Chain A
Amino acid sequence: MLIYGLRRLVVSVPIVFMSTFLVFVMVSLSGDPLANLKSRTPPVSPQVIAVEGRRLHLDHPLLERYAMWLGGIVRGDFGPSVAANERIGPEIVARLGVTLRLIAAAFVLALLLAVVAGVISALKQHTWWDHGLSFLAFVSLAMPSFWFAVLLKDGGVQLNAAFGRQIFSTVGERSVVAPDGVVPRSLDVLGHLVLPTLALAIVSFGAWSRYQRASMLDVLTSDYIRLARAKGLSRRRVIVRHALRNALIPLVTVTALDAAALLSGAVLVETVFQWRGMGDYLVVAIKRTDVYAVMAWLVIAATAVVVFNLVADLLYGMLDPRIRGERR
């Protein structure tokens, strides 16, 4: 199984390479990183602009720049940022922590909600429970994630105003002035996490709960469930031990594949709640044609995709022994 996963990994390497190259070219051609510097009043002297251009490797042709960037990545150097006082590496690592917190929380929440909703839907197929939960799932699929996020944020603000004190934190990933002590500080971070997590989780919830419903229905009609019931096992035991366990297998792999997509969802949620995470970094970088910063985001996103694909493959093999022999 590990070998299978590794082989998949090796196959995806050239594609990832091409992908980074494509994005590198696109971002480089999408604008002039020095535009801001050139348009300043009073005008910046041409020497300064030339020096800045050299710092950003703009005096080299595009292909050479890509090669230099690639060489840098191998050594763990993300390249120069347009913002002269910022180093991309430490910056993105700090922001990755912030974003991972959000993604992990949203992932767990979405998974829990999806499993519960999916199982209820399947067990009570064609009842009002099923219809209601299905409708919820469809609405969450049709809702622009940031619209819901803004709605939540506004709800939080109004609730705070109504009670005259801060119940929900609606701005930033933590308070500007962090409280002293480990426990208050953690509580502060958790408080800021609540609404964004909900906003991000709802995006994945829709698809996952539908998936869980379908796979649960599939399992419930299978022979071994009928056999388990015929043996005289209680309905509850059959559902939890036999049906749910098997129905979770496909969901687990789907969620692992989708987890990387949460990174894109986080871009919007972070913008709404003004978090200083990866998403915010990407938006700013694109706006100022910060090629190397965009590339840093991409490399991390691509790594996440590859890693989660691998995890999905391995999980699938681990959870479902039938797969191991077939997939070679």
Chain B
Amino acid sequence: MRGTQLQRRRPPRRLVRRFLAHRPAVASLVVLTIVVVAAFAVPLVWQYSYADITPDSSVPPSLDHPFGTDNLGHDAFAQVLRGIQRSLEISVLVALVSGLVGTVWGSLAGYYGGRVDSLLMRTCDLVLTLPLLAVAAVLANATSGSWWLVALVLSALSWALIARVVRGVVLSVREKEFIEAARALGSTDLRIIATHVVPNVVGPVTVTVTILLSTAILAETALSYLGFGVQAPDVSLGLLVSASSTAVSTRPWLFYFPGLFIIVIALAVNFIGDGLREALDPKQNRVRR
């Protein structure tokens, strides 16, 4: 028993080493960590709160206001930090909810197969036919635009993607000998799913969820731009960009900074996803030529 446990411990360490070999991913992880920590820590010590209305209106970036101020006098630095918090919260919630629902859904479909499978997967197909932007806009328009409702709307439209990935993995795992062995030893379905199927699914799910994180950030920005996302006085990166998009020439700083952070976050998350995929599936990563 001890031997097998040691065997099971080893792959993660190799995985970490492979991930560390992917330089863009490591750099991205560092950048993302800095951004996240800054977004949540700096507001505690920064002189202005995102809601403060300072006497300086429409001033360009300066030492006092590193990102400038808007026409009402809001400190853009505080607002961008707040926006990063919101956008991260939304995307993480989307990733968690759709990751969880998708994993359970896909596992059930893949494990039980047959009629359960077709019923569950047809539901997925149905959800995947819905055009994300349009339906999210409809749903978000009906709800009041608080950030977690926006996140739930996005989750409701993206879990099916994960379910499909999970089902594929489960289908291939289901027929393996160790499942058969577990069943012969009298394991219940639930136990087999929890101890044998789920660990195999973790890798692909992590990769898909990572990609979903950046999709969610971009979707939130798009929704907010069209007026269906997070609503003022709340602040999100998408809202900041859309609010400033009509006055790019007069107050460019309000437009560039939140946009740059969206790009940096989405870019970092994508690279991390790439690194994870290559670490988890070295077969795809063979050196060509």
Could you tell me which A residues sit within 8 Å of B by CB distance?
15-16, 18-19, 22-23, 26-27, 29-31, 125, 138-139, 141-147, 150-151, 153-154, 157-158, 217-218, 220-221, 263-264, 267-268, 271-272, 282-283, 286-287, 289, 294, 297-298, 301-302, 305
Q: State in angstroms the CA–CA spacing of A144 and B130 once bound together.
A: 21
The distance in angstroms between the C-alpha atoms of A287 and B134, with both chains bound, is 12
Which of B126, B129, B249, B262 has the most A CB atoms < 10 Å from its CB? B129
B137 and A283 form a contact (CB under 8 A)? yes
Alpha-carbon separation in the docked complex, A282 to B266 (Å): 27
Residues of A within 8 A of B141 (CB): 30-31, 286-287, 289
A143 and B289 form a contact (CB under 8 A): no
Residues of A with C-beta under 8 A to B31: none
Contact A125 B289 (CB under 8 A): yes
From B132, B221, B249, B252, contact of A147 by CB (8 A): B221
| Residue pair B134, A298 in contact (C-beta under 8 Å) | yes
Question: Known: A139-B263, A144-B221, A220-B288. Contact between A283 and B139, CB under 8 A?
Answer: no
Contact flags (1/0) for B258-273 with A, using CB distance below 8 Å?
Answer: 0100110111001100
The prevalent SS among residues of A at the interface is helix
Are A142 and B288 interface neighbours, CB within 8 A? no
Separation of A54 and B271 alpha carbons in the complex (Å) = 54
Which one, A16, A144, A157, A305, contacts B262 given CB within 8 A?
A144
- A150 in contact with B255 given A142-B267, A263-B131 (CB within 8 Å): yes
* Separation of A283 and B226 alpha carbons in the complex (Å): 7
* A-B residue pairs, 9 tightest by C-beta: A30-B142, A142-B266, A142-B267, A154-B248, A264-B133, A19-B129, A144-B221, A147-B259, A150-B245
Contact across chains for A142 and B129 when beta carbons are under 8 A apart: no
Measured between beta carbons, the chain A residues less than 8 angstroms from B222 are 144-146, 268
A19 and B128 CA atoms in complex are apart in Å by 9
Contacts of A220 in B (CB 8 A): 288-289
Q: Is the CB of A15 within 8 A of B122?
A: yes
Q: Do the beta carbons of A157 and B249 come within 8 Å of each other?
A: yes
Residue of B nearest to A301 (CB): B131
Q: Are A26 and B139 in contact (CB under 8 A)?
A: yes
CB-CB under 8 A for A294 and B289, given A16-B129, A141-B270: no
- Interface SS, B side: helix
Docked Cα-Cα span, A256 to B139, in Å, equals 28
18 A-B pairs besides A147-B241, A264-B131 with CB distance below 8 A are A18-B126, A26-B142, A29-B142, A125-B288, A138-B267, A141-B267, A142-B214, A142-B262, A142-B265, A144-B259, A154-B252, A220-B288, A221-B289, A264-B132, A264-B134, A267-B133, A282-B137, A305-B129
**Which residues of B are found within 8 Å of A305, using beta-carbon distances?**
129
B259→A138 contact, CB < 8 A: no
Question: Which of A22, A139, A141, A147 is B130 in contact with, Cβ under 8 Å?
Answer: A22
Residues of B within 8 A of A289 (CB): 141
B residues at A contact (CB < 8 Å): 122, 125-126, 129-135, 137-139, 141-142, 214, 218, 221-222, 225-228, 238, 241-242, 245, 248-249, 252, 255, 259, 262-263, 265-267, 270-271, 288-289
Q: What are the residues of chain B within 8 A of A153 when measuring CB–CB?
A: 248
CB <8 Å contact, B130 and A142: no
Which chain B residues lie closer than 8 Å to A151 at the CB level? 248, 259
Alpha-carbon gap, A86 to B133, bound state (A): 25
Inter-chain CA distance A29–B228, complex, in Å, is 16
With both chains docked as a complex, state the minimum distance between the C-beta of B28 and any C-beta of chain A, in angstroms.
10
The reply to whether A147 and B262 form a contact with Cβ atoms under 8 Å apart is: yes
Asked whether B135 lies within 8 Å of A26 as measured between CB atoms, the reply is yes
B271's closest neighbor in chain A, by CB? A138
**B228: shortest Cβ distance to chain A, in Å?**
7
Tell me, in angstroms, the Cα distance from A305 to B129 when the chains sit together.
9
Check A158–B131 contact: CB distance below 8 A: no
| CB within 8 Å for A298 and B262 given contacts A154-B249, A221-B288, A286-B141 | no
The chain B residue with its CB closest to the CB of A149 is B245
The closest CB in chain B to the CB of A148 belongs to B259
Are A143 and B248 CB-contacts (below 8 A) given A220-B288, A267-B134, A267-B226?
A: no
Distance in angstroms between the alpha carbons of A143 and B258 in the assembled complex: 11
- Chain A residues near B270: list those with CB within 8 A: 138, 141-142
Q: How far apart sit A263 and B134, CA to CA, in the bound complex (Å)?
A: 10
CA separation between A29 and B138, bound complex, in Å?
10
Chain A CB within 10 Å, residue with most, of B134, B222, B225, B266: B134
Point out the residues of chain A lying under 8 angstroms from B225, CB to CB: 144, 146, 268, 271
B-side contacts of A31, CB under 8 Å: 141-142
Q: A19-B129, A125-B288, A271-B226 are in contact. Are A146 and B245 (CB under 8 A)?
A: yes
For B129, give its contact among A15, A267, A282 (CB under 8 Å): A15
Can you list 23 A-B contacts with CB-CB less than 8 angstroms, sorted by A residue number? A16-B129, A19-B130, A26-B138, A30-B139, A142-B214, A143-B262, A143-B266, A144-B218, A144-B222, A146-B221, A146-B225, A146-B241, A147-B241, A147-B245, A147-B259, A150-B241, A151-B259, A153-B248, A154-B248, A264-B134, A272-B245, A283-B226, A287-B227
Q: Give the residue of A217, A294, A302 whose beta carbon is less than 8 angstroms from that of B138.
A: A294
**Chain A residue with minimal CB distance to B244?**
A150
A26-B225 Cα distance, complex, nearest whole Å: 22
Hey, which chain A residues are within 8 Å of B242, CB to CB?
146
A282 to B255 Cα, complex, angstroms:
26
Enumerate chain B residues within 8 angstroms of A158, measured Cβ to Cβ: 249
**Chain B residues near A286 (CB-CB < 8 A):** 134, 137-138, 141, 228
CA distance A6 to B30 in the complex (A): 50
A30 is contacted by which of B122, B138, B238, B289 (Cβ under 8 Å)? B138
A218 to B286, CA, bound (A): 11
